[in-house]
Structure 1
Amino acid sequence: MKTNSSIAIALLLTCTAAMAAPQGVKKTAAEKGGLPRYGMAVYSDLCVQPGGEFGGQRITVQRFAEVDTVIYEYTAGGLSWPVVANDVNIDPRGRMMYFTVQPPDEPERTLSGKFSNDGNTLTLDGGYCADESQPMTLQKVRDYAQKPKACRACPAGKKAPAGDPAAPKWEAVPPSQG
């Protein structure tokens, strides 16, 4: 038979354990989804063309406490020199990002995309092979010793309707002078 003091001690231990237990379990980056807040990830669709040259692009994202950086590599015949991006913006949840690059002898351009829920793919805005309906998806690199795959041929493009180009849906209004 338990005494009142042993019941009181058991109750006290139970209450203490309940108060010491964490109120809510924090989710890990994998459970939250998207790109983790710290670390490095490489996304690539690099492949080998039938002639032996590389095709595709590679994006390296580095996330530090002070700043996020992106190194962008693309192909223009052969694999280009890496371009360090300017104006890197990754949303706080690690789901979307955009950055600006200025490749040598080319105009500045902004690339944007969305990370998958598990952070294993980056889908860039714009189209694959100049077809806006085909998303450009880069897979997260896990095996850096893996040989590149053969490039897949671009799908047959959709023909644009013949005729006059579409008029803009809005027209600029000249500034008023007053």
Structure 2
Amino acid sequence: MLASVALTAAVAGPKAPRKGHGPAAQAERPGVPRYGMAVYSDLCVNQESGEYGGQRVTLQRFAEVDTVVYEFTAGGLSWPLVAVDVNVDPRGKMIYFTVQPPDEDERTISGEFSPDGETLTLDGGYCQDQSQPMVLAKVKDFGAKAKSCKACPQPKAEPVKPDYKHEAVAPAQG
């Protein structure tokens, strides 16, 4: 009888917290959390045309697999593209995935999460000279109105090189 009471007390007793788990441990880990869902977006509205610009990445992290739904703009918002070959590194700092837009070649998109997981910076950039990085902020207010798009800076003029003309020179005689 005493043994069964001791066994019951041992089973029903409080559990000691496991190291490396829980909110405190997650706060110590940089990057994107291992489980859950996050939406990163830089969608904006062009004030002149009213068209959307930018991209949105919806990342879902499950125990079995990570998934991504990718949306981009080309005048209007694209149909959501379900990515294949989704890879988030074990530290939650980098991501790459592959999408195939309709009537286009397959492309791989890659980027890096900020240390706090609040932004996703995709490789490449906006504008012709790619001077504006593609930084997508983590969406926290899904009812918020889209921001105004920023115009690309004017391209820098290439320095004018003097146009040298070569004149025929008579061979030296001597």
CA 118–107 in structure 1, closer or farther in 2 if over 3 Å, else same: same
CA 73–137 in structure 1, closer or farther in 2 if over 3 Å, else same: same
Q: What corresponds to 2:132 in structure 1?
A: 134
CA offsets 1:14-64 (integer angstroms, 9 cap, x no match): xxxxxx987966552232110000000000000111211111110000000
Alignment of 1:108 onto 2:106: yes
CA offsets 1:57-100 (integer angstroms, 9 cap, x no match): 10000000010000000001110100000110100000001001
Q: Secondary structure at the match of 2:120?
A: strand
Alignment of 1:43 onto 2:16: no
Contact map agreement 1:69 1:88 (CA 8 A) in 2: yes
Q: What corresponds to 1:151 in structure 2?
A: 149
1:41-80 superposed matches below 5 A: 41-50=38-47, 51-80=49-78
CA distance in 2, matches of 1:38, 1:24: 17
CA distance in 1, matches of 2:28, 2:120: 17
**Letter of the aligned partner of 2:99 in structure 1?**
V
CA 158–112 in structure 1, closer or farther in 2 if over 3 Å, else same: farther
2:120 to 115, 119, 122: 122
1:158 Cα offset (Å): 3.8
Alignment of 1:29 onto 2:36: no
Q: Secondary structure at the match of 1:30?
A: helix
Q: Secondary structure at the match of 1:77?
A: coil
CA 98–158 in structure 1, closer or farther in 2 if over 3 Å, else same: farther
Q: What corresponds to 1:5 in structure 2?
A: none
CA 63–23 in structure 1, closer or farther in 2 if over 3 Å, else same: closer
Residue ranges of structure 2 left out of the alignment (5+ in a row): 1-14, 162-174
**Letter of the aligned partner of 1:155 in structure 2?**
P
Task: Provide the alpha-carbon RMSD of the alignment.
Answer: 2.2
Q: What corresponds to 1:81 in structure 2?
A: 79
CA 107–160 in structure 1, closer or farther in 2 if over 3 Å, else same: farther
CA 23–57 in structure 1, closer or farther in 2 if over 3 Å, else same: closer
1:157 Cα offset (Å): 2.6
Instruction: Give the share of equivalent positions with the same residue, in percent.
Output: 68
> What is the count of residue pairs matched by the alignment?
144
Q: Secondary structure at the match of 2:27?
A: helix
